[in-house]
A = this chain, B = another copy of it.
């Protein structure tokens, strides 16, 4: 069975990536593509890497244009999706790539985003280990409203959740530093995102616990079993268009060994098609995940300091956004979960 699909926000990076992946999806038939300031132009003139859509023209992002599809992917600026989604039928599967429906707690929303909180939707990291057993995918089956995850939140949550569920690490005093490419910030015309500013340079931002993905990570780790949880999280902008390499550390519980740790991580993702724990001694490169819906994880134990160091790599636009959105939609619709999603990165 083929599902009719609409994509809103197609001129941005996330929307473009949804379309790139949908182009290889055998069960999704993209019928409508919308944008805001670029409406009226051909998609291929705005996103010249998307050759397969031929002469399809961007329509205005309105509920009217988006309605009457089986699936709608929203890749809009934060705050824009709630009002729009309210106008869709309850039978339509709506997947929001923005942040509007990720946070359960209105206080978190107020503190990190400001403004009115909108109710959270089913959260789109299917592999997230849940406290007792099972994974977040159990909460996605048959669902009609999905919130795709934040890219940094995905990299850190997937890195730390197995240790929390297995009760091998302390869930407080976590520390995570992420090397991230600027495409996560979208096409915003800001001086600090200019190529001349970023090439040949590394810089931190949102330093001091103020990054908006922080509450999302904490929420995920609570779902994985943490009672009290705290993390110091700092993103570092580095000169690559895509990719996140998260280096996350946690204090181990007394007596925990490297083998125990590696076994727990392997067990958590044992049958996962998209999350892979590397053999001991191997660590991932972001290039290995470029363009793929893959998250690679390597870990080591620093016995001197009693901390496990977990390195996770993913493509912020794929496993961090658009790939997670499609994977979650596959689950919601009862399709084979990996349909249309590449596992091999484009390297070198």
Q: Number of copies of this chain in the oligomer?
A: 4
Within 8 A of B (CB), among A249-276: 249, 251, 276
Contacts of A209 in B (CB 8 A): 300, 302-305, 309
Contacts of A62 in B (CB 8 A): none
Contacts of A80 in B (CB 8 A): none
In the docked arrangement, what's the CA distance between A285 and B194, Å?
14
Contacts of A187 in B (CB 8 A): 191, 194, 196
Q: Which residue in B179, B232, B249, B348 is a CB contact (below 8 Å) of A242?
A: B348
Given contacts A199-B239, A302-B209, A346-B20, contact A49 B232 (CB under 8 A): no
Q: Which residue in B196, B300, B313 is a CB contact (below 8 Å) of A207?
A: B300
A30 within 8 A of B: no
Contacts of A247 in B (CB 8 A): 177, 204, 207, 234, 236
Given contacts A173-B173, A195-B182, contact A201 B287 (CB under 8 A): yes
User: Most chain-B CB neighbours within 10 Å: which of A13, A49, A187, A197?
Assistant: A49
| A93-101, A290-298, A324-332 - interface stretch | A290-298
The answer on a CB contact under 8 Å between A344 and B23 is: yes
A289 within 8 A of B: yes
A92 within 8 A of B: no
In the docked arrangement, what's the CA distance between A52 and B202, Å?
22
